[in-house]
Structure 1
């Protein structure tokens, strides 16, 4: 007998709540927020064929759907509280749902949060998650908080870098080939990003601004520059790279690192006097950070190599309505 909508929710997604006052099963979730705290809320949607391939393992899809939303909370320095899930399915496939739920809840457990509601419907495969977090009033990291003279930093996996997710996509597109281990490493970066929640919270009081790298480093930096009415100088050779990406032609390295997207690392600015504190915060969070440039009063982006020579190449970040 086919699963009905409410049976599906009860079997795969209804769990007892610990932090919420009321969770899955009513018209609204109820969350208790501590005095002196602000509620941070963000929604992201993953659409099959646009944000993920049909070949992705369901558990990895569940992980990524939540991870990309947690990354938004990380970018404002918020502590995650709970999330909702709106799910469109072409059919109620129990094996798919079992894998999806396992990946989703494994990451939720890692961050101590719970699913408190949502919606399900029949239709093209589409996952939309809304996350709720809390941050002390007045301490949220904002795109508009950057200041001229700030160092520009980007986080990265220990021993790794940014741009691997884009490199995996180029393999799927047939632009290049990688051997089994290298391909699995970059595919893992694309399908199971690690939201930098601990680092985001540690940067409160250290960083002036932050954004997560979802659509490409330069494109996301542009949001900070517009929000703060500043310019920036970026050293392309200071970008952290994995051994796999570093083995590729330089042009591809720059394309993946500067415009690739899907990294879900934090791009942030902080005063030069806080460099050691930033490194200590990253160390405590178990991630790497690289200083890749500085923010400047003069508007515009100045991209240079390690010798300070301007780079003339243009790098287009992802845009949902312009990208193929």
Structure 2
């Protein structure tokens, strides 16, 4: 019989996996149905998430909506800008690739995160093992995007879609670094930071949607009696709700589970995502793509195992400074004489 702690871990992992899978496949269904409204779709998701945060604040005192100040706005602008840019490239990438290929297209998240973290704090050395794990993931990415005669032209992702995937991975990596430096400006509250990133991203995205002409496209669709808006509207509502839940699920997963458990759940989700993509969307999986997914997962789990092993190492004692000890002895001796 499972203990209470084991049940909590199982529940959180299942919750996280379910929310993440729903987000990917409902996003893909909407983008397949209405590929010309990706930014409007993203804007609705952000607004729904903000509305749910305000509703949660009314229900629970533990959810606190931050006060909007000019100082906080200036300091949090970088993390908000990087967040919405990454989300935009993310959804544009998903629009152009198959659901099962999406994880390959964004396969450089780990190597780029390691690189960006090192560039941000070059004083922190990166071990050879970490570099090796990063190299494995990078090889998996190039294995998946390499041209294959077994893949028909209709199933081959365009260069632009792959470019969006790489940019999405880069901005996710930068976002991960900026979160650490941005939390102090939100009273170290992840909920307040979630509000800032969602609300701020919606504000920054609005003029882009106007400039891209997607509101005009939406208006034409609304006046077109032949447009079936069911998938778009329900998809926006579902992804907005599950985007909010995914934020909570991610926090719970990090708090309740270990990094290794979290990584293995992500690996299991990737496998399920591939199987569902093949079964529901008819995605094509050839030897290259299957091997790519396995290599990326293997490199990611190797990285997690290395980091967990490094965390368990006892701290190294500070080197003994014999010269300083001799100086201290002389100082004590002089004090005694006086």
TM-score range, shorter chain: under 0.3
**TM-score when normalising by structure 2:** 0.23
- Of Structure 1 and Structure 2, the greater helix share is in 2
Q: Which has the larger radius of gyration?
A: 2
